[in-house]
Chains A and B, each alone.
Chain A
Amino acid sequence: MYEFDWSSIPGALPFLWEGMKVSLEITVTAVLFGIVWGTLLAMMRLSPVKPLGWFAAGYVNLFRSIPLVMVLLWFFLIVPQFLKGVFNLDPNTDVRFTSAMIGFALFESAYYSEIIRAGIQSVPKGQVSAASALGMTYAQAMRLVVLPQAFRNMVPLLLTQAIVLFQDTSLVYVSALADFFGAAYKVGDRDGRLVELLLFAGAVYFVLCFAASQLVRRYQKKLNAHVAH
């Protein structure tokens, strides 16, 4: 029978915390980037300018058809080489991590864009007509009338997507970036205690994501009750 030995975890906590900070940093950056770029993509997709719509549709469908692992590998292995070639960068500059980060954010934006598009479409058309009747331009109608309402309806979905994204960050493992999972794996590998460290990592992810999703659920209930009255 396997004998557990959890003794390597307490000493490794500071190192694991450093990893967790990287995971959280990636999450926050990608969520912010995803919401901004995702909103732009959604507005392009819904705009009356056809080429913009095609671009956004192509972008979203492309990123949603490729595995995240492939996107990360592209941005970790291929894109840095390409950039070095084009811009004649010093061969010693390491842009691989930044590049992987950008790839991750670009990927997640495609998913955010779909949520935001649905949110915008959930606002009744009459509101846009009313806004233009009041003399607002399309941009003003979007900014002052449609988006504020759309975002309020979307908050629970955006947060749920953030939880998914936090779980996705573990995949930066393929780019050897030391996030929480990478740190846990390293400690386990070093001490020959992979079993304990992997179970510990799983438990930490579970507690964080479960707690976060319960909070979102409660918030959603409150929002629904508010709308019902």
Chain B
Amino acid sequence: MSYQWNWGIFLSPAASGDGSYLSWMLSGLQTTILLSLSAWLIALALGSLMGVLRTVPHKGLATLAATYVEVFRNIPLLVQLFIWYFVLPELLPFGLGDAFKQKLDPVTQQFVSAMVCLGFFTSARVCEQVRSGINALPRGQKNAGLALGFTLPQTYRHVLLPMAFRLVVPPLTSEFLNIFKNSAVCSTIGLLELAAQGRQLVDYTAQPYESFIAVTLLYLAINVIVMSLMRVVEAKTRVPGYLGGK
């Protein structure tokens, strides 16, 4: 084979004129991390809310949350992303859609769509974990809370949720890892995150192996870092006496 390896390619000035190819990579990495973290906040907030709704003794609310989960679990992420990005701005009422398309620059449009899409997609998974965490608690805990005169929201707030959240940290770790991997799908709408930068580098430098190996290693690094961070969180939040606890 006659392939010329050239790892120095990352330091040579990029075709865009500003910075090196390394700076392309780093800006892609930055976008991937920012996107995943902001989507994770949405996923945690929405997922916790929906997870609680799935367990409340109110048929309507529980059905609503169950439907929510089914919708976001049974449509491929890519299709959801295209719907958020291409369809929703057309359908938003009161000129909101036009404002989105005209007032925001394209990069912001892509980022916002990707963030909301990943957030909602992951929230359905978070919801199921939170629900199973709440259901894993002995029924006596809820009854005890109510017997002490707590209202139902107070029982959730002070008795059920503090325990449930500690129980679901391990499964949430894997959802947190997934959100970084799933963020690569957002390269399809033109968002220049890590995978897209890697692909762009192939086109510009004719050094496909170096750029793809670098991108793959960066994804592996994200994985390792997130896992070791979460291991610390898991150790801190572990409940003594429960499976996996001390």
> Which A residues are within 8 Å of any B CB, using their own CB?
1-2, 62, 65-70, 73-74, 77-78, 81, 85-86, 167-168, 170-171, 173-174, 181, 185, 194-195, 198-199, 201-202, 205-206, 209-210, 213
Can you list 17 A-B contacts (CB < 8 A)?
Answer: A67-B180, A68-B181, A68-B184, A69-B184, A70-B198, A70-B215, A85-B2, A86-B1, A167-B74, A167-B75, A167-B76, A174-B188, A181-B79, A195-B86, A199-B83, A202-B79, A206-B74
Contacts of A62 in B (CB 8 A): 220
Contacts of A67 in B (CB 8 A): 180-185, 195, 219
Q: CB of B80 within 8 A of chain A?
A: yes
Task: Using A195-B87, A206-B75 as known contacts, say yes or no to A78 and B195 having CB atoms under 8 A apart.
Answer: no
Interface of A is mostly: helix
Q: CB of B104 within 8 A of chain A?
A: no
Task: Using A70-B195, A74-B212, A202-B79 as known contacts, say yes or no to A171 and B86 having CB atoms under 8 A apart.
Answer: no
B contact residues, range: 35 or more
Q: CB of B7 within 8 A of chain A?
A: no
Interface of B is mostly: helix
Contacts of B76 in A (CB 8 A): 167-168, 170-171, 181, 205
Q: CB of B3 within 8 A of chain A?
A: yes
Task: Using A69-B187, A173-B188 as known contacts, say yes or no to A194 and B78 having CB atoms under 8 A apart.
Answer: no
In addition to A168-B76, A174-B188, 7 A-B residue pairs with Cβ atoms within 8 Å of each other are: A67-B195, A77-B199, A81-B208, A170-B79, A201-B79, A205-B75, A210-B74
Smallest beta-carbon distance B220→chain A, Å: 5
Most buried by B among A85, A167, A185: A167
Q: CB of B159 within 8 A of chain A?
A: no
Is the CB–CB distance between B184 and A70 below 8 Å?
yes
| Cross-chain contact of B208 among A2, A65, A78 (Cβ < 8 A) | A78
Contacts of B70 in A (CB 8 A): 210
Smallest beta-carbon distance B28→chain A, Å: 12
Smallest beta-carbon distance B116→chain A, Å: 16
Task: Using A68-B181, A85-B1 as known contacts, say yes or no to A181 and B78 having CB atoms under 8 A apart.
Answer: yes
